[in-house]
Structure 1
Amino acid sequence: MSALPVLESVAEPRPRVSVLLLCFRDADYIRAALDSAFAQTVPCEIIVSNDCSGDGTFEIAEELVAAYRGPHRVHVRKTERNLGVSAHFNDVMALASGEIIVMMAGDDIAYPERVATIVRAFDEHPGATVLGSDFDAIGSHGEPIRVSFRQRPQRYDFDYYVRIGRLIGLLGATMAFRREVYDRFGPLLGPIEDNALSLRGALLGQSLNLRQPLIQYRRHPGSVSGTVFARDEPRALATRRRYERTVQFYRGTADDLEACLRKMPELPRSKRRLAEQVLAMYRIEADAREAILLQPRWRWLGPVLRGLGQRGLRRKSAERALKLLLPRSWFGLR
């Protein structure tokens, strides 16, 4: 009597998409954020990671994940200590297995079609390596609000940054990227992820912004954007702290772009030239803000003169030169 053939177990296919749901002090919002992640119509790997906030966010997430029954692979974890935005992102990226990475914050709400729309957009635009989207803004209690973000362009290439003279990339809360954007260059440098990822995308291909709102982006006093840019702090401190944090942000983004350029010797000369101009813009802006914040006025002249010679910064540098004639208090500093 012949033995029955042994059936080999078939491994569950790896999800194409990893959703990184990063949270910090989001106890009031994590339920809505997780519910919206669970509602995605494309099966995903969902990694819920709390940056050691100690406010109950992790425990709530752990409870919701334990009760979840559905098509997604869901993991919940927390860091051993608070890492900050970029370091937390780097920590979680080591765990993600998808070829497309979708970013999500613990205080935002994704529309159910978000992941499906992102996957379709990547399929339709094979040259795109990073995607963002428009958004609907809400407040602490889910009420619609208006925010001061200018409308994003549809393409973020190096020529855009130089031409328009603005160092703002895709909004991090709306971002998704092919994992080569991380694997090709390694962990992010600097404190914030959105500009660094936008520029990496421009190096490798295209950074695109979808005109369709795919999330409800929540603004509240404890939000990351409010903390980084001091939007909700007392006016007497807000300008100074915004200058301090922007200097760190610009320097970190410049460090990341410079490190990426070293790893791309094959980059076409025309694109490298534009990327180097953007790198110079970040360095000049960081030096200029630091000089205004900390240095005697004669030390402002170096960054101002460099900015006047840099395409993209000439008008801003001319305006900054006028500040040499004004008291610091006129532009919010003492």
Structure 2
Amino acid sequence: MTPRVSVVVPSYNNGPHIEAAIHSILSQTYADFELIISDHSSTDGTWEKLQLLASDPRIRLMQVPAGGGAPANWTAVTDEARGELIKLVCGDDLLYPTSLAEQVAAFDQHPEAVLVASQRDIVDETGVPVVQGRGVQHLHGMVDGLTAIRRTVRAGTNVFGEPACVMMRRQVLADSGGWDSRSPYLIDQATCSRVLLHGPMVAVRRPLAGFRISAQQWSVSLSREQSEHARAFHAMLRSEHEGLLSGWDVRLGDARATLMAWKRRAAYIWLRRRMGI
């Protein structure tokens, strides 16, 4: 039988955390799901650790050849999904036990929705929350898709959260062109925005996932690159979809994207000090 939900995990060198990520998915209170895990030529033992989990009938393992970066891995594992609904979980993140159940319930309550997003906790290398209940800004309940897109642009950041916070209708994702790799640092935000051109979202104002951060993830050059990609993303949206964004929307979003990039930089400096690095 075809499962209602496909959870897909594109792993790459997630050796220290892949087991915790997979166990968090297998421990869901919602049972009607399949779990597809692709490994993108990991060199740190991730694939070997996945073999220890392969006996679970809900799991399918696959390998993706080197090359193409994250978009290639995300696309390959998504193409194997069969469920009506799809959730992508990176190999070092965590799902909280009721994540699938609550997001499926939101789709059942709002059948016109194309996407459900929740808040998330920011967790450190050990899984301990360092920031709780982040995401979805001031969105609550059913939100028009175009309104949600404007909100994420004006905020200068991804209000939908990382993929583990989001569940989408798989067919709408496919009809939208799949994962949007034109903005490498904004693949999740850009894809959610493209999906939301097709309908409304539901915002769940509770953390249903843990997004893991590392003190080594950030740099001054990366903060500049991400803000540059955000500005390009805003300009692209305005150019491709007439009437969606005003000039003021873009100017505000550009300014806030620069500010948010430096806020993240400061947060990672704080994390390094917290961990004694």
Q: Does 1:312 align with 2:249?
A: yes
Please give the alpha-carbon distance, in whole angstroms, between the structure 2 residues aligned to 1:317 and 1:252.
Answer: 10
Give the Å deviation of 1:94. 1.4
Question: Judging changes above 3 Å, is the alpha-carbon distance between structure 1 residues 273 and 61 closer, same or farther for their aligned structure 2 residues?
Answer: same
Matched with 2:115 is 130
SS at match of 1:165: helix
| C-alpha separation in 2, matches of 1:108 and 1:91 | 19
Cα distance between partner residues in 2 of 1:318 and 1:112: 37
**Is 1:247 the counterpart of 2:240 in the alignment?**
no
Residues 17-166 of structure 1 mapped to structure 2, 5 A cutoff: 17-40=5-28, 41-65=30-54, 67-68=55-56, 72=58, 74-146=59-131, 152=137, 153-154=139-140, 155=143, 157-162=145-150, 165-166=154-155
For 2:19 and 2:225, the matched residues in 1 are separated by: 33
2:60 aligned counterpart, secondary structure: strand
Matching of residues 162-201 of structure 1 within 5 Å: 162=150, 165-169=154-158, 170-172=160-162, 173-187=164-178, 188-190=180-182, 191=184, 192-201=186-195
Residue equivalent to 1:208? 202
Counterpart CA distance in 1 for 2:24 and 2:234 is: 31
Paired letter, 1:80: P
2:270 corresponding residue in structure 1: none
Displacement after TM superposition at 1:243 (Å): 1.7
| Among 10, 14, 23, the residue aligned to 2:2 | 14
CA offset digits 1:258-293 (Å, max 9, x no partner): 77x6xxxxxxxxxx512xx27xxxxxxxxxxxxxxx
Query: Which has more strand, going by share of residues?
Result: 2
Quick one: structure 1 residues 243 and 103, their matched pair in 2 at CA, closer, same or farther if it must change by over 3 Å?
Answer: same
Residues of 2 paired with 1:194 and 1:49: CA distance? 18
The farther-off stretch of 148-157 and 45-54 is 148-157
Between the aligned partners of 2:156 and 2:172, the Cα distance in structure 1 is: 19
Pairwise CA RMSD: 3.0
TM-score by length of 1: 0.65
Identity fraction in percent: 26
Structure of greater relative contact order (alpha carbons < 8 Å, 6+ residues apart): 2
Confirm or deny: 8 A CA contact 1:22 1:48 kept in the other structure: yes
How far apart, in 2, do the equivalents of 1:317 and 1:106 lie?
A: 30
Per-residue displacement from partner, 1:138-196 (whole Å, max 9, x unpaired)?
A: 21112221279565223474335546722433112311100122221223232243212
Task: Pick closer, same or farther for the CA change 1:54–1:120 going to 2, 3 Å.
Answer: same
Alpha-carbon offset, residue 253 of structure 1: 7.5
Gaps of 5+ in 2: 258-277
TM-score where L is the length of structure 2: 0.77
Contact residue 120 and residue 161 of structure 2 kept, 8 A: no
- Superposed counterparts of 1:258-269, under 5 Å: none
Contact 1:196–1:257 (8 Å) recurs in 2 = no
TM-superposed deviation, 1:116: 1.4
CA contact (8 A) 1:189 1:252 kept: no
Distance 2:194 2:233 in 1: 13
Instruction: Kindly provide the CA deviation profile for residues 37-59 of structure 1, in whole angstroms up to 9, marking residues without a partner as x.
Output: 11123221101112223111121
Say whether the 8 Å CA contact 1:196–1:253 is kept in structure 2: no
Report the CA distance between 1:247 and its aligned residue: 2.7
State the distance in 2 between where 1:113 and 1:319 align.
33
**Counterpart residue number, 1:324:** none
- 1:93 is displaced (CA, Å) by 1.7
Equivalent residues of 1:22, 1:49 under 8 A apart: yes
Give 5+ residue unaligned stretches, structure 1.
1-12, 262-271, 279-309, 321-334
Q: Deviations over 1:78-135 (max 9, x none)?
A: 2110432323211222111111001212112212221111111111111210111112
Closer, same or farther: CA 254–176 of 1 in aligned 2, 3 Å:
farther
CA distance in 1, matches of 2:80, 2:177: 14
Q: Is residue 109–residue 215 contact of structure 1 (8 Å, CA) maintained in 2?
A: yes
Q: CA–CA distance in 2 between the matches of 1:319 and 1:64?
A: 43
